[in-house]
Amino acid sequence: MTPALAASRRSFLQLAGTGLALSGLGMAPTSAAPARALPHAGGPVLLNFNEYPYGPSPAAQAAARDIVASSGRYLFGLAGELRDLFAQQEGLGKDHVRLYPGSSEPLNRAAVLWTSPAAGLVVADPTFEALGDLAAARGATVAKVPLRADGAHDVRAMAAAAAKVDAGLLYLCNPNNPTGSITPAADIAWLLAHKPAKTRVLVDEAYLQYSEQRSVIDQVMQRDDVIVLRTFSKLYGMAGLRLGVAAAHPDRLKELASLGDNPLPVTAMAAGLASLRDPVLVAQRKADNARVRHNTVGWLGQRGFACVPSEANCFVVDVQRDGAAFSAAMAARGVVIGRSWPIWPQRVRVTVGTEAEMARFREAFEAVVSENG
């Protein structure tokens, strides 16, 4: 396995430019049907970065291609059109929405703005680590609170930890990465009602469209201490195009913007608009992913390998042996899966791929288990 395959997403998604490029190109209604999985060209099956295996929808691909000829211009109005459509669909004020190249950038900016040696950070364990890594590098105390047995965030323990470390920020990924597990909206409501007043809550909803979970994005219209992130990198299949959204009170968005600004790629915005305009894309991809995930998790369970309950395009399985060695053995058989976490050294994350890719996963999994007894 090459270093590029083994690297965590946080190692190559650091601060890039932000976006509020603003143009008004209209696009036709989109088609949701996935064409085919992205080719591996004889290479390994990649089940390690939680990418959507079919890529952008056909209509999003067409929109991106069609706008390339016009990309010699900034097309500033296009970002305004995308922002306004997202705000309309989510029931938000336009001034509560800001666009970024993916959700990693506002995540990193939050660490810079709201954590410090005097302002700690509270996260789940395990969870997506980029925010904690950057906060720790800045000298902040990072309090890691283990997930509950059902995979949900332990919001009561997190509220207590926030008070203990004088937290400037609390991070809640829902569904969570790496587990795909959910934290019920009622638990998040309890957290918002009981956290320290100075602690901002950043809710990362990168995987929300895969889930039955209700978004908490409406909270940004009612409070000034909640930031909700969305991304087009997961269900919309645009990981390499880089497009994301931060929703928050205008004062919080102004703070995020204080670290600089850059226009967004017009191809990403065109593809994003086409994706949002598709009335069936989310439901279709959500159902397809759930079916493949359910079949794979069921297959593992029949063989005695337990998974944390997931509502995302990934899951964590207990392989009952060293997780890093297991992942390496899988990679040697042409199936690259995710890694293990220090708190769970015998559990590994697996991305949900196509049916054919998961058949390859099952074949490799069975071989590795048999090989190692």
Q: What is the CATH number of the domain that holds 362?
A: 3.90.1150.10
Chain-centroid distance of CA 137 in Å reads 22
* CATH number of the domain within which 201 lies: 3.40.640.10
Quote the CA–CA distance of 70 and 27 in Å, as a whole number: 14
Record the tokens describing residue 208, joined without a space.
């929300």
- On whether residue 56 sits in a domain, the answer given is no
Kindly state whether residues 223 and 322 are assigned to the same domain: no
Query: Distance between CA 228 and CA 221 in Å, rounded?
Result: 11
Q: Are strands 335-337 and 45-47 parallel, antiparallel or unpaired?
A: parallel
- Domain identity same for 135 and 256: yes
In single-letter form, the type of residue at position 275 comes to: S
Residue 58 has φ and ψ, to the nearest 5°, of -55, -40
Task: Based on the fold, state whether residues 206 and 103 are members of the same structural domain.
Answer: yes
Q: Are residues 145 and 257 located together in one domain of the fold?
A: yes
Residue 47: inside a domain, yes or no?
no
Pairing of β 167-173 and β 200-204: parallel
In a domain, 341, yes or no: yes
The pLDDT score that the predictor gives to residue 38 is 54
- The answer on 223 and 117 residing in a single domain is yes
Q: In this structure, is residue 20 part of a structural domain?
A: no
Do 322 and 177 lie in one domain? The reply is: no
Domain shared by 80 and 161, yes or no: yes
Which domain, by its residues, includes 330? 283-371
Query: What are the angstrom distances between the C-alpha of 95 and each of 184, 205, 251?
Result: 28, 20, 10
Distance of CA 126 to the CA centre of its chain: 14
pLDDT of the residue at 34: 44
| Position 19 in a domain | no
Q: Say yes or no: 237 and 300 in one domain.
A: no
Distance in angstroms between the alpha carbons of the first and the last residue of the chain:
23
Q: How far is CA 360 from the centre of its chain?
A: 25
Q: List average pLDDT for each run of 10 residues in the chain, which is 373 residues long.
A: 40 32 34 48 88 97 98 96 98 98 96 98 97 97 97 98 98 98 97 98 98 96 98 98 98 97 95 98 98 98 98 98 98 97 98 98 98 76
Give a yes or no: residue 12 inside a domain. no
| Backbone φ/ψ region at 75: left (φ over 0), alpha (ψ -120 to 50), beta | left
Q: Are residues 311 and 211 in the same domain?
A: no
Report DSSP state, residue 208: G
Same domain for 119 and 199, yes or no, is yes
- Using the 3D structure, point to which of 276, 292, 320 is the last residue of a domain: 276
Amino acid at 27: M
Distance of alpha carbon 60 from alpha carbon 343, whole angstroms: 39
Of 216, 250, 276, the residue that ends a domain is 276
Question: So what's the pLDDT on residue 37?
Answer: 55
- Please tell me the distance from the alpha carbon of residue 324 to that of residue 332, in angstroms, as a whole number: 12
- Per the structure, how many domains does the chain have? 2
The answer on 201 and 92 residing in a single domain is yes
- Backbone phi, psi, residue 316, to 5°: -115, 130
pTM, 2 dp: 0.89
Let me know if residue 220 belongs to a domain. Answer: yes
Last residue of a domain, one of 259, 276, 293: 276
Q: Say what the pLDDT of residue 40 is.
A: 54
As given in the structure block, the two tokens for residue 211 are: 């889930």
- Predicted pLDDT at 262: 87
Same domain, 268 and 290: no
Q: Do the domain assignments include residue 346?
A: yes
Peptide bond into 29 cis (omega under 30): no
